[in-house]
Amino acid sequence: MAKKRPQTKAKRPQITDGEIPVVGAREPCPCGSGRRYKACHGRAAAQAVTELVQRPFEGLRGECDWVALRELVPAATVELTLKDGLPEGVPSVTLATVLPMAWPALRREDGSVLIGLQNDTASGDISRDLADTLQRALSAEPGTPVQGRRASADGPRLQELLDPEGAFEPVVHSGFEFWVPDPEKATPEVTASLERANAAAIPTVRLQSVDAAYWCETPEKNHLRWVMPHPEERLLDALARLQAAGRSSLGEGTRLVGSFRAHGLTVPVWDLPSGVGAQDVEKPAAEFAERLAEALASDAPLTADERRARGGLTNRQVTLS
């Protein structure tokens, strides 16, 4: 029998990790290893994509308002300023709490871009997912929505795309009419989506006397939900000091009832009587902010009453994200 010639394998081109593109989990890994992507370089990519970023909006102008618009406010918009300016043919970029049909983004006929904030995201980093959606919307055909997808683990984040000095000034709306500049041209699907969204929207007002505080009206009672940037443990200590001293309310009939956790920040919540409107709590909120600043500056150990108050506040915390 003839001897088998020794077989030699052709050398595969060397590809660095940074050059390996993202492909389907069951596809061959582009690195040339012969293994499926999910068992090779996809492991690191999947871990990077699913790793939860506790404060996705940290470093952005108006971080507290980003959290409020993501979790608490039904209808609001904010004009965004891009670090490198607007591309040709894009007159504006607007962040919106929700878009029709739950679209992640929309490029309007006039070329303007709307980005939806309250959509589900594919990874643990909302900032990276939104940045990917924004980049695709900027180059989308006018008049088309942008669908969601998993962002590349090494893609940019909002912090890299937005101007850190650009203003972030939310405008709260009573409904979602901003979806349709020309109602006569709206499709039946968009019109139906608008009607459903308007029916579910809770009346909400952003206070002017303090940052990131939102009054809202519900059938039983009204509420004030105030997103604060302070470290959670220090903020809870300060709130407990005020609670124990009887200085945590916003006026007669109001009560600090607990807080939310959302995207790494704490959101104290007050119950308000039904007759108390947003204007009624403007001055009390500003006065509370001064009391809170004093309490935050204290390093004294909590008293027994303050510890009990803190325990009550902690037991009434609800995590939103």
Cβ–Cβ < 8 Å for 123, 129:
yes
Over the stretch 125-147, which tens digit does the pLDDT of each residue have? 999 999 999 999 999 999 999 99
Distances (CA, A) of 269 to 188, 215, 225, 228: 38, 10, 5, 11
Residue-wise pLDDT tens digits, 162-171: 999 999 999 9
d(CA 321, CA 203): 23
Q: What is the mean pLDDT of residues 88-117?
A: 96
Task: Give the least confident one: 57-61, 97-101, 118-122.
Answer: 118-122
Residue of 69, 60, 48 lying closest to 320 (CA atoms):
69
pLDDT surpassing 60 at residue 153: yes
d(CA 293, CA 228): 12
In three-state secondary structure terms, 307 is helix
pLDDT at 22: 61
Which among 220, 221, 173, 175 has a CA at the least distance from the CA of 199? 175
Predicted pLDDT at 47: 53
Per-residue pLDDT tens for 28-66? Answer: 888 888 888 767 876 655 554 557 899 999 999 999 999
| Residue 1, pLDDT score | 40
Residues of 206-239 as b/e, b for ≥16 C-beta within 10 angstroms? bbeebbbbbbbbeeeebbbbbbbebeeeebbbbb
305 versus 8: the higher-pLDDT residue is 305
Residue 186 CB neighbour total at 10 angstroms: 16
Higher pLDDT, 18 or 313: 313
* Residue-wise DSSP of 71-114: HT-SSEEEE--BTT-PPTT---EEEES--GGG-SEEE-TTS-EE
Residue type at 166 in one-letter notation:
G
Per-residue confidence (pLDDT) for residue 20, from 0 to 100: 64
